[in-house]
Amino acid sequence: MRVESNQSGEEGDRKLLVAVYHPLRHRAATLAAAAEDAGYRTCLLAAPAAGLRPWLDCPFDLLLFNPFLGWQEPAEFVRFARTIAGRRPLLALSSGESFADRMAALDWGADDAIGWTGNLPEVLARVASLLRRCGIAAGQLGTAGLRIDLIDRRVEREGRLIRLPLREFDLLANLARVPDRPVSRDALLKAVWRIDFDPGTNRVEVHMSRLRAKVDRGFDWPMLHTVKGCGYALHSRPEG
């Protein structure tokens, strides 16, 4: 993966991750290359029909996709992507300059829409704008009294400072990007340790145990949960 440092894609010492889906592989590669040249990391997603797990597990900061070609009716695809993205920004692309397509994508749930052919600079400007607008570029995450400063690597819950070493902080940040949604063990190994295979160790379990002791102990309800067969999740509200 080609990555060059650029302020637009930086969040402290972590490059923002843009997930890219286009049913035409050469266009997906063009979009990803442009995003990487602008300083972002990228994740190329296959069609959801090939499996939903990569879409669910990718800890992206923004989803850039074309819903007007490919596997299903565009309205359903945008609504699916909206569910996957949650509160993260969703930028829809149309291969042409159809005003009707762009307006429809906005109506279906996209945060922004653009006809991108030959217009990569504007696409990247819209990516940066959405990230700023959603507060992600400011380096803040949080839910239910939990506040995570990605730049200073500072964590607070209900105003109480929680000191975390690097790996535990990165685990928590990856879970906080998709609150109430499980993240698989394999996805955490890749995101936190940059490991693309299961090394057969219990490093995720050990670090999650330590993280639970710091984030949940002494508070009214636990935020960190094991989801059997799926991985781990950060809950934004008590169970019940």
Q: What is the pLDDT of residues 66-108, one digit of tens each?
A: 999 866 789 999 999 998 888 789 999 987 778 899 999 999 9
Q: In this structure, are residues 74 and 105 in contact, taking their beta carbons and an 8 Å threshold?
A: yes
Question: Do the strands 146-149 and 154-157 form a parallel or antiparallel pair, or are they unpaired?
Answer: antiparallel
104 — phi, psi (to 5°)? -65, -45
Determine the pLDDT at residue 1.
37
Alpha-carbon dihedral angle through residues 142, 146, 147, 152, given to the nearest 10 degrees: -120
Q: pLDDT confidence of 14, banded at 50, 70, 90?
A: low
Q: What percent of the chain has pLDDT over 70?
A: 91
5 has pLDDT over 60: no
Nearest to 57 by CA among 184, 163, 156, 145: 184
| DSSP states along 66-127 | --SSSSS-HHHHHHHHHHHHTTS-EEEEESS--HHHHHHHHHHT-SEEEE-TT-HHHHHHHH
Q: In this structure, are residues 141 and 148 in contact, taking their beta carbons and an 8 Å threshold?
A: yes
Bridge partners, 160 (sequence order): 157
Rounded average pLDDT over 170-181? 90
Q: pLDDT confidence of 2, banded at 50, 70, 90?
A: very low
User: Which residue has better confidence, 124 or 2?
Assistant: 124
Which pTM was predicted?
0.62
In the chain the domains, ranked by start, together with CATH numbers, are 7-133 (3.40.50.2300), 140-234 (1.10.10.10)
